[in-house]
Chain A
Amino acid sequence: MKKILIVDDQPEVRELVDVTLSSEDTHIIKAASGEEAVEVTRGESPDLIIMDIMMPGEIDGLEATRILKSDPRTRNISILLLTAKGQDRDIEKGLEAGADAYFIKPFSPLELIHKVEEILGT
């Protein structure tokens, strides 16, 4: 059973990703901001985090990625950035922050499933 954390401030997007990735093998938990993402991750230790970048609050998706990736407790949790920011520079920044994958919105749910399976090794 893989625990997947979905982080996006927009409820529709959260629902979309949830519908896409829900299955017998997955347990979906959700967060709506960067701070929440860090908190929940520390508490729940998901196997994968799917994170939007542009979120309100002090910590956006990139910052949350950095925090989690520099914390020994959460370093090994895979993070996939799912964002509308699609410029080369943005991708660079995302990967520099420590993300393991980068997906641009709008996305194909099937492709996302494939990528998640790849990351989780299922």
Chain B
Amino acid sequence: MTSDPQKPLRILFLEDNPNDAEMARRQLYKEKIVFDHETVETEADFRRALRDFVPDLIVSDYVMPAFDGMRALEIARSHPERIPFIVLTGSINEETAVACLKAGADDYVLKEKLTRLPFAVREVLEKHEELQGRMRAEEKLRRSEEKFRLMADNAIDCIWQLDESLRFTYLSPSLFRIMGYTPGEWIGTHISDHSTPEEAKNIARIGIEAIRNPEEHAQISFETWMRHKNGDLVPLEIVGKPLFINGEPAGLQGSTRDIRERKKAETALRESEKRFRDLAEMLPIVIFEMDLDGGIIYANREAHDIFGYAPEELSAGLNAFELLVAEDRPLARENFARRLNGEDLGTVKYTGLTKNGHAFPALVEVNPIQENGYPKGFRGIVVDLSEEMEMIDRLSASQKRFQVLFEFAPDGYFLIDFDGKIIDANRQAQNLLQQNHDELVGKSMLSKFRLRGKTRQRALELLSRNAAGHPTEREEFALTRPDKSRLVAEISTYPVKIGKESLILGIARDITQAKALQDELTQHRNTLEKIVEERTRELHSALRESEANRDRIDTILKSVSDGLLVTDTNGHIILMNARAEDYLGVRFSESINRNVSDAIKQEPLARLIHKALSGSSGNLNVDIESAPVGAETRILEAAAKPISIQGRELIGVLTTFRDVTREREIDRMKTEFLSTTAHELRTPLTSIQGFSEILLTRRELKEEDRKKFLGYINRQAINLANIINDLLDISRIESGAGFALKRAPCDLNEIISRRVELFRISHEKCRFITNLETIDRPVFADGEKIDQVMANLLSNGVRYSPPNGKIRISTTADDNDFQVTVSDQGIGMTEEQVRNMFDKFYRADTSDTAPPGTGLGMSIVKLIIDKHHGRIRVNSRPGEGTSVVFTIPMDPEKED
């Protein structure tokens, strides 16, 4: 019964008589009507109760002293809510009743018939509810219509209705805004009247279809164009559905939307999309779009290139997370989720994975793609950092290298800004300044080193030059270090740019030592110069002296008859005189500074010099045979003498060469002679010893044999005596004692002829022919010696003559000289033999079958002739005999 079963009924009694009210209530209890109640009598209370109690029903007395039912009814009816009103009255006539009802009461109940009250209440409430319901429905409808109207009037879209012939029955005012026509202008027109002919056909078709098949939930939706009042074609979206009035199809209703903007927007979007795509394709970074599951929707060309997948593969549903290395995927998923939550992560570094499994560092940034306010996926970029990473590595490696170079450079390196504040200082700089890194960095150079006055000025100048972009080179600065020692440094500065900073690189080279040395050196040099001056003067005078000496030496060298050769300690030829040149057959100019064994091909000489250099104390002589081209062969005796300074330092070797050809020849002849002599002595001795022993030991010798043997002995004894005599002569000649001539006036012809006679007797086989010119004076000579000469000459003649050879002896004289000629037809002599004939011990024929002789004969002859101040000459040709001519002065006194 009540509208809300939970809420109890509220009844407001308007009664001045409480008993009446009571009775009324009692009636309601009887009928099991549950209610709350309030009772009022005054208007004020009544109003208040209406307000506060909010009754569902008013039961009011018709007549009350202060306040009557009609008035209450008036008030109730002016109350916004219609509250059911029952009038309770005593007797009432019909007119009053009708008046009540007309006034708006819902019912009236007579007090006498109070039992009717509950039913009246129920009835009234029911009716009220019904009425309320109806009123509500009506209100609803009204509201809905209002709403519709409101909507329709205010809708941007144009709401319309068409009848079954597709003519407009209703159009909302928006039509004007959209098409420029008022609704009135279009009402009654056909839906296809306002388009292009083609479109009209299309619209008509759709409309007719819809009309033909009106289903409850059928909906038409299409885009079309209609002509604006101003002639433009306006793009429209038409949505509609069947219209039912009272359940019967009555046409179509729907809305038409002006989609100009949308169309523009769509075009703009398409263009923008296109621009985006074009840009995306162009860019050298990967641009991709993926859905919320990671499925790739779009990937630009770079994506294909970088990741190595073909376009088909990428759009075939490859998951974006597969493009990262496995280790990064969980993190990536987490990050994407956070991004979805609205967290802005910026760019994240991942390791990308190509189709070939190559991993590379990549920067990824994603943004959600929003649609209708919800993210439908992600759009992102991937930047391949491989190159950058490489560059960074290289850069950092290179940076490291520079750092190392800077730090460990052998010179002090420091970086300062243009105010002179120290930014960095390397190890060596710290060493030089005796300050560590922290003590230097951040401090001002000028104050740190207490640069004052000129030094400060110079430093400031350097800084300003650097500021102007100029480097400075090698400025010397001196400062005192913490340990009070002095540092002199050569500073060069260079403006540099490190990153964005402009700084100054300073290089300091420690030249303290060098400077000190330099100073010392300068001092020394000055001293030296003085010394040199002095010495030069001394040298000049010494030189002048030595030049004089040299001339002397040169003269001596030239005149010395020995060959001289001076070699240095390396065996190189320093000096050679002309004689040595001749002897050795080499020129000094071609030999100077060459090694002696190289310049002079004489091994014994080289060995000798080497021996002298090595300090050998043995015999430093050697014979060398020299046979220079175009000159005769010589035997040279080389004597080497080491030359040293003051007996200490060896500076070279002086070798003298003596021509000992003749000496050696003579020695050879002497040895030869001795050997021969020994032989000659032995030969007669053999007979003497041998035969005398036979005579002594053999008794049974025949007498004739005995005589024969004694004869041999005798002969050989005489022979022996002769040999010994000759030897004695020789020894006399050798010792140089010579012999004295006993001169006397002599008849030489006589002496000569006697000697010849003797030879005739003893040498029967030879023919001696004399031709002695008579002279009127004697010759003042030693007759015996001349006799000896003749004996020798004749002996030779005989010795070398063939059997029956002729030997001629002739003499002649003029005023001054007496001349003797002895010539034979013998074997003759060669030039060499002639030359050497008079040499002691020279025997032209040294073979054993040569006629016996000691070889001394001719030298004795020569000696005798010389002593007489005479001359002797020999002419001979091999095979043609020999002729010896000698002359002696008639009177030597005259000659002398």
Chain A residues with a Cβ under 8 A of chain B: 9-10, 12-13, 15-16, 19-20, 54-56, 84-86, 105-110
Contact = CB atoms under 8 A, between A and B. Distances in A.
6 contacts: A105-B682, A106-B688, A107-B690, A108-B690, A109-B694, A110-B693
B849 A84 contact: no
B77 to A, nearest CB: 188
A65 to B, nearest CB: 17
B685 interface: yes
A106 B689 contact: yes
B674 to A, nearest CB: 11
A20 to B, nearest CB: 7
A80 B697 CA distance: 23
B683 A84 contact: yes
Nearest to A16: B690
A34 to B, nearest CB: 12
B848 A110 contact: no
B687 interface: yes
Contacts of B848: 9, 54-56
B712 interface: yes
B849 A109 contact: no
Contacts of A16: 686-687, 690-691, 694
Interface string B667-701: 00000000100110011011111110110011000
B693 A108 contact: yes
A86 B691 CA distance: 21
Nearest to A17: B690
Contacts of A15: 712
Interface residues of B, number: 23
B145 to A, nearest CB: 170
A20 B849 contact: no
B847 interface: yes
B694 A106 contact: no
B686 A13 contact: yes
A55 B847 CA distance: 8
Interface string B694-720: 100110000001000100100010000
Interface in B200-230: none
Contacts of A20: 690, 694
Interface of B: 675, 678-679, 682-683, 685-691, 693-694, 697-698, 705, 709, 712, 716, 847-849
A109 B689 CA distance: 9
Interface of B is mostly: helix
Query: Among the interface residues B683, B689, B716, B848, which one has the most CB atoms of the partner chain A within 10 A?
Result: B848
A107 B697 contact: no
Nearest to B682: A84
Contact of B689 (A56, A84, A85, A107): A107
Nearest to A15: B712
A108 B689 contact: yes
B686 to A, nearest CB: 4
A105 B685 contact: yes
Nearest to B678: A84
Which secondary structure dominates chain A's binding surface? loop
Contacts of B688: 106
Nearest to A10: B683
A109 B682 contact: no
Given A9-B848, A16-B691, A109 B686 contact: no
A78 to B, nearest CB: 21
B697 A109 contact: yes
6 closest cross-chain pairs (CB), A and B: A56-B849, A84-B682, A106-B689, A106-B685, A105-B686, A16-B690
Given A13-B686, A13-B687, A56 B693 contact: no
Given A54-B848, A84-B682, A12 B687 contact: yes
A12 B691 CA distance: 10
A51 to B, nearest CB: 14
A9 B712 contact: no
B679 A109 contact: no
Contacts of B712: 12, 15
Contacts of B698: 19
Given A12-B712, A106-B685, A110-B697, A54 B679 contact: yes
A20 B692 CA distance: 11
Given A12-B712, A54-B679, A84-B678, A106 B849 contact: no
Nearest to A111: B693
Nearest to A57: B849
A84 B690 contact: no
B693 A85 contact: no
A19 B689 CA distance: 13
Contacts of B693: 108-110
Contacts of B847: 56
Nearest to A109: B693
A10 B848 CA distance: 10
B715 to A, nearest CB: 9
Contacts of B686: 13, 16, 84, 105-107
B450 to A, nearest CB: 102
Contacts of A9: 848-849
Nearest to A105: B686
A85 B676 CA distance: 10
Contacts of A55: 848
B121 to A, nearest CB: 188
B246 to A, nearest CB: 173
A53 to B, nearest CB: 9
Given A84-B683, A105-B685, A105-B686, 18 more contacts: A9-B848, A10-B683, A12-B712, A13-B683, A16-B690, A19-B691, A19-B698, A19-B705, A20-B690, A56-B849, A84-B682, A84-B686, A86-B682, A105-B683, A106-B682, A107-B686, A108-B690, A109-B690
- Most chain A Cβ neighbours within 10 Å, of B682, B688, B847: B682
A96 B849 CA distance: 25
A108 B685 CA distance: 11
Contacts of A105: 682-683, 685-686
Nearest to A108: B693
Nearest to B849: A56
Nearest to A90: B675
A16 B709 CA distance: 9
Contacts of A13: 683, 686-687
B598 to A, nearest CB: 37
Contacts of A85: 675, 679
Nearest to A87: B675
B220 to A, nearest CB: 153
Nearest to A13: B686
A95 to B, nearest CB: 19
A16 B694 CA distance: 9
Contacts of B849: 9, 56
Contacts of B685: 105-106
Which of A9, A54, A55, A86 has the most chain B CB atoms closer than 10 A to its own CB? A54
Name the residue in A9, A10, A20, A106 with the highest tally of chain B Cβ atoms < 10 Å from its Cβ: A106
Nearest to B698: A19
A55 B848 CA distance: 6
A86 B712 CA distance: 23
Contacts of B716: 12
A9 B693 CA distance: 22
A15 to B, nearest CB: 8
Contacts of B709: 19
A110 B697 CA distance: 9
A111 to B, nearest CB: 9
Nearest to A8: B686
Contacts of B687: 12-13, 16
Contacts of A107: 686, 689-690
A74 to B, nearest CB: 24
A86 B686 CA distance: 13
A88 to B, nearest CB: 14
A12 B694 CA distance: 14
Contacts of B697: 109-110
B896 to A, nearest CB: 47
Nearest to B679: A84
A106 B690 contact: yes
Contacts of B682: 84, 86, 105-106
